Structure 1
């Protein structure tokens, strides 16, 4: 009998039986027949410590013996209080208040509602729409779908159902672009703000790395310019660091590359090292303090059942401790060097007729093919070589666990290159 599990992003007519995972250790997971696969995507970019990390497993077990869950409505507990303080400590200065939720998509929904209510409380109720970027992806819930790329994104089928927001062109200047090149991107952003700022509550942005929209890598100067434009036009700046947070771009947060502080920042994925679903939406005092007042409208009306779950908070605390104590930023730098040497500096790959571009940032690399058909069959090809790759569209990418060794990283990159050979 086929499994009743309905898998995500699957075409039901053509999908094959999914391999069953029974365990894992380090950067590999193990299938029921004993086959071990090196996970090049660390389970949608969240298992940054790999599988069965002893400290994270022990933290969950220890917390389970004490308190598995209690609602955060009218109550609190030590893991939530400690995690909030730690997140305030490590995020850019000025982010001083933490609202927990249970997934990255919900964390972004929180950010959008927070921005709209902020302007309402500041007597600007007309500022109730979002400004997003083309090539953006912010999640699969309704509010998030409405701020994903409406043309090339995966949610165009739902366009008639979704609210309408504004979009600016995706920045095109790469990470190391000269200021002049970035100015063209900022001029396009300015144009949209000049036309629509009176109804825009917030600019939403995946800083430096637009992940599921095609792994587009952009300049820190764009973040600086966007911060200045948001201040000029009284628009809140929201950084969606669900994918980029906790080291993925080479610094703890993508915002750190530009030394800017957004008004709101959303974290998930690596927050718990991938061991439990959890998210955090952080806000500055400016945003938070607007909610201090005596009217019913001053209460922020959002409250996911599992927000601040003690198990998730406890494992997130352990994840951050491991990250800092074991100097993960240096581990990421070593992985980055391998990615540069193996992919970015390979002339045969960059000159390949089926390759449109090769990009590397932090512990992320992508080979962009000319056409999605150029990647048909690559997952089975990689699996035969002991590597789990899951491309999307025309993008063959790796976002590995940070504990991946140099040799294992080369095994991944050589598999990616071998496909094009």
Structure 2
């Protein structure tokens, strides 16, 4: 494998072209293990950015992909349809929170967010309220790296401050403060209520990540915040967009994070785990009211159409992933992971360089008091047989649901050992 070419010509995500982070060559993957070219065997703690929930090289997902390859790998979705897309959308409508009846298939999470935001703006324009085009988002949020998605990410603590002069100016509410499982504090809704009271005439939607704020800080907040957001959106006549790209399909302990609060958004974005990490695919779901509202008046259609929308190969693998989830085994798997993460990460609290430890579902987070060099940390983790990619002050785990206890212990021990060595 020509690693020198990789370093000189291939730009990897969130890294410098001048001084790139090390990239480790992968030969193959199986179950929860990633195998490097030199024979090193790593337990994957990231599910390949939260997507590979069933692990790698899964026989059922492989079978679905191979079977679909022999039929049709791709066909344009404009004017054509196919069984894999129909079956997938049936499942998404059936499983998603009540009222989400229409599905727009996209090809990445960021695009799903762009679609959701376009839907919200077009909805109000077609109701004669073209002045309602802004969005309210909680601080510490993250919704993707494309332009509209960047505009609703945290403008200060996020990763897109360089682009603030060219991004649409949105309205930001304080980040949710009451932690998941803590005593709810109703006072924290006062400022959001005030913002909606002042700006509802120009706001198309509130957009948020339900219960789990992901790349903006790995924060877990009280479901009552989400429930109150739903009530406030109804009160002030704005839409609610739930970005479930990271949390959808069981990661937080419920099938969707919205289920913790028993609410239904007007629009919901899905991605990442939808195909079990095999193919790029995403979906934006909306209510019948939103769908009909978007298509009233000019232009009478929704003007968006990704080239690989409804890709049959991706939809077939997604259907196989849904079939695995439908067995219900994921729920006990996630509960087991949560229990083990709580127990085994707790020892990190005693370390001088650790600020916080938190766990929800199959997500474990150790927040340090200072940021460490990512390359240095990863080198230590790899030496202990763990694949963990931290960012900033956050060292976190989102393992595949199929991970065994001994394998998960390798990950938790690697975090503790590394931070103890650095404290």
Length-normalised TM-score, structure 1: 0.96
Task: Indicate the residue corresponding to 2:341 in structure 1.
Answer: 339
Aligned to 1:380: 379
SS at match of 1:22: strand
Q: Which residue pairs with 2:123 in the alignment?
A: 118
Shift of 1:16: 4.4
Whether the aligned pair in 2 keeps the contact of 1:374 and 1:394 (CA below 8 Å) is: no
Determine the C-alpha separation between the residues in 2 that align with 1:192 and 1:411.
46
Residue pairs, 1:128-277, within 5 angstroms? 128-179=133-184, 181=185, 183-277=186-280
Distance 2:21 2:259 in 1: 42
- Structure 1 unmatched runs, 5+: none
Please give the alpha-carbon distance, in whole angstroms, between the structure 2 residues aligned to 1:413 and 1:16.
Answer: 23
CA contact (8 A) 1:27 1:51 kept: yes
Q: Distance in 1 between matches of 2:325 and 2:86?
A: 20
Q: CA deviation at 1:314?
A: 0.6
SS at match of 1:85: helix
Distance 1:203 1:177 in 2: 24
Instruction: Give the paired residue count.
Output: 415
Q: How many Å separate the matches in 1 of 2:375 and 2:307?
A: 41
Alpha-carbon offset, residue 17 of structure 1? 4.2
Aligned to 1:91: 96
Corresponding residue for residue 79 of structure 1: 84
Cα RMSD after superposing both structures: 1.3
In the alignment, what sits opposite 2:71? 66
User: How far does residue 14 in structure 1 lie from its aligned partner after superposition?
Assistant: 2.5
Residue by residue, what CA displacement relative to the aligned partner does 1:106-137 show, whole Å, maximum 9, x if unpaired? 00000000000111111111100111111111
Q: CA deviation at 1:185?
A: 2.1
The CA distance in 2 between the partners of 1:21 and 1:376, in whole Å, is 17
2:24 alignment partner in structure 1: 19
Once the two structures are superposed, the pairs formed by residues 312-331 of structure 1 within 5 Å of their partners are: 312-325=314-327, 327-331=329-333
Q: Which runs of 4+ in 1 moved over 4 A?
A: none
Structure 2 distance, partners of 1:187, 1:176, is: 21
Partner of 2:14: 9
Asked whether the 8 Å contact 2:142–2:158 carries over to 1, the reply is yes
Per-residue deviation at 1:285?
Answer: 1.3
Aligned equivalents of 1:253 and 1:370: distance in 2?
Answer: 31
